[in-house]
């Protein structure tokens, strides 16, 4: 994160970022060794800052690894889709629909200004379309949460991830604005199911007094999703969309990644959680 934010404006170099990370890891390791040396008794009922690193909960670690697949797919809406819209999607149909709506509700005086704010004439800016995701969550999250309240966390996570598979499948044919919006809208419902329930599960399995610590660990899967999502976004877009001119294959691969994640989550629920 430091590298992506500060190397672009020349504040730091990548060498400095790497040195900082190495030093920070060393500091944490030294602190951990000091804790283990000075506190030889049980660490039960000890505050999180005095608790050494523990790798004993392998089930939770596996869960985080599996969920990184979901976040890898999730990030394509923000990493890959804006560039895809700019390069491959004709959003003139959205422009016609939006301007027609503005005229019908008495906003005709603002139509020309709206058109002039676009980067490409007659097209809708990608960032406007991506915001459909945030809008859908604002309007439907409470309703979705109500309907999935009684479902088990892993059941909801599984179906939420499957819904993202459907959204990426829609993107395969996403050459017009309305099809892309349909894909984003469907994706949003998958996100509204999987993301909150994964956090709920983390809170439930946390030992007494360690809930905040486990919730912090949860963001490891988000970080891994950011890492893998960024790498795959660039590589797949270059290979399929740019070089082969086949962005449909790119979305197919992302759909398969999401499908594989859903199947692994299902297997985890049946083979690990229920046999615990």
Domain ranges of the chain: 1-42, 59-91+130-273
Strand partners, 176: 90
> What would the two tokens of residue 199 be?
């956090």
Domain 59-91+130-273, classified CATH 3.10.180.10, yes or no: no
Does 1 score more than 60 pLDDT? no
Q: What are phi and psi of 97, to 5 degrees?
A: -65, -45
Report CA-CA distances (Å) from 131 to 48, 77, 137, 174: 38, 10, 10, 17
| Residue where the block lists tokens 């697949």 | 69
**Tens digits of residue pLDDT in 227-270:** 899 889 999 999 999 999 999 999 999 999 999 999 998 898 88
CB-neighbour burial class of residue 102 (10 A; exposed 0-12, middle 13-18, buried 19+): middle
pTM: 0.80
- Considering Cα of 54, then 199, then 193, then 133, what sign does the dihedral take? negative
* pLDDT-derived band at 40, boundaries 50, 70, 90: low
Task: Enter the DSSP assignment of 39.
Answer: -
**Tens digits of residue pLDDT in 143-186:** 999 999 888 888 899 999 999 999 999 999 999 999 999 999 99
Nearest to 184 by CA among 102, 117, 84: 84
Q: What distance in Å separates the CA atoms of residue 43 and residue 129, rounded to the nearest whole number?
A: 50
> Distance from CA of residue 68 to its chain's centroid?
9
> What would the two tokens of residue 221 be?
């899967």
């Amino acid at each position: 994160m430091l590298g992506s934010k500060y190397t672009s404006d020349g504040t730091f170099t990548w060498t400095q970022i790497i040195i900082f990370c190495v030093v920070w890891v060393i500091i944490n390791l030294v602190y951990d060794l000091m804790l283990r040396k000075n506190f030889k008794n049980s660490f039960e009922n000890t505050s999180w800052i005095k608790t050494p690193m523990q790798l004993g909960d392998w089930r939770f670690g596996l869960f985080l690894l599996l969920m990184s697949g979901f976040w890898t797919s999730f990030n394509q809406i923000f990493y890959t889709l804006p560039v895809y819209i700019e390069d491959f999607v004709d959003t003139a149909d959205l422009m016609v629909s939006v301007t027609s709506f503005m005229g019908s509700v008495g906003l005709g005086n603002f139509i020309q200004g709206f058109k002039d704010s676009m980067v490409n004439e007659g097209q809708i800016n990608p960032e406007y379309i991506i915001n459909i995701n945030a809008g859908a969550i604002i309007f439907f999250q409470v309703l979705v949460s109500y309907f999935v309240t009684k479902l088990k966390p892993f059941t909801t996570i599984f179906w939420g991830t499957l819904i993202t598979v459907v959204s990426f499948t829609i993107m395969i044919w996403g050459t017009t604005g309305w099809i892309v919006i349909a894909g984003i809208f469907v994706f949003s419902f998958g996100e509204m199911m999987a993301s909150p329930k994964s956090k709920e599960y983390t809170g439930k399995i946390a030992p007494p007094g360690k809930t905040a610590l486990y919730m912090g660990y949860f963001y490891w899967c988000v970080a891994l999703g950011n890492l893998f999502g960024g790498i795959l976004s660039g590589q797949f877009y270059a290979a399929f969309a740019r070089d082969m001119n086949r962005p449909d294959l790119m979305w197919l691969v992302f759909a398969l990644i999401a499908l594989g994640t859903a199947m692994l989550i299902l297997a985890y629920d049946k083979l690990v959680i229920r046999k615990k």
